[in-house]
Amino acid sequence: MSTFLLVHGAWHSGRCWERVVPLLESAGHRVYTPSLTGYGDKAHLLSPTVGLDTHVEDVVKLIHEEDLTDVVLVGHSYAGLVISSVANELPERIAQLVYLDAMVPEHGETAVDVQPLTRHLIDQAARSGSGWRVPPLPEMPAPHGLFGVTDPVDVAWLRAMLSDHPVRCLRQPVRLDNPATESIPRAHIHCTGAQPEGITRRPVPATQPNGSPARVWELPTGHDCMVTMPAELTGLLLQL
């Protein structure tokens, strides 16, 4: 039995994994899908003070409270920053890092460094009434849809869980200065469906920080593959 801790990206909540959880559990694994502060059952806690450090602490606290070890830590999109800093704090408890169509940072980088498009989102928020709230990206015509989701029923379900994203999450740097983090195996899953203009993805180095060959898989779907291809995503996670 493995322990999977699935961390959602910006604007989403832990509910986005609902189609993946039963598939992993039916294979005999434990699965945790927390909503980060400001989302889902914690939406009422959304504020300008919520940042990357808040979300890292959410995950670190869960790992401590549940006494989790040998964790397969999966981060979707923005949560690539979150799982990197979590691993930096608790490398002895992490068995695998999985970057799911995610930002893959270096030490000291922010979301803007990894995905320059986020600068535009920060600037938009600064011009808005709040100055700190980044609304979800708008739905676009197919094949882009809402985060790559195009089925009308799925779009409605997804839209109902989305919340604004605090600017502070995009401005705070990742900590990756613990040498022990480099020994943790990594895997990358890229969603290769249609991407909105301006979205970029860093090439994955041929060698992992631990010296092993890079592991990169692709899913021919949009960004929210846990909604559009849950069985295929689960199959890749089980290969770990």
Q: Is 35 tagged catalytic?
A: no
Grouping H, G, I as helix, E, B as strand and the rest as coil, residue 149 is strand
User: Could you tell me the maximum CA-CA distance found in the chain, to the nearest angstrom?
Assistant: 49
Q: How far is CA 84 from CA 98, 99, 128, 177, 191, in A?
A: 10, 9, 30, 10, 20
C-alpha 233/C-alpha 27 separation (Å) is 14
C-alpha 240/C-alpha 187 separation (Å) is 8
C-alpha 225/C-alpha 231 separation (Å) is 10
Give strand pairing partners of 145: 140
Q: CA 192 from chain center: how many Å?
A: 16
Q: Evaluate whether 180 touches 91 at the Cβ level (below 8 Å).
A: yes
Q: Evaluate whether 167 touches 110 at the Cβ level (below 8 Å).
A: no
**β-bridge pairing 133-134 and 165-166:** antiparallel
Q: Which of 26, 35, 47, 77 is catalytic?
A: 77
C-alpha 32/C-alpha 5 separation (Å) is 5
List the one residue out of 92, 100, 89, 85 whose CA is nearest residue 12: 100
Which residues are known catalytic residues? 77
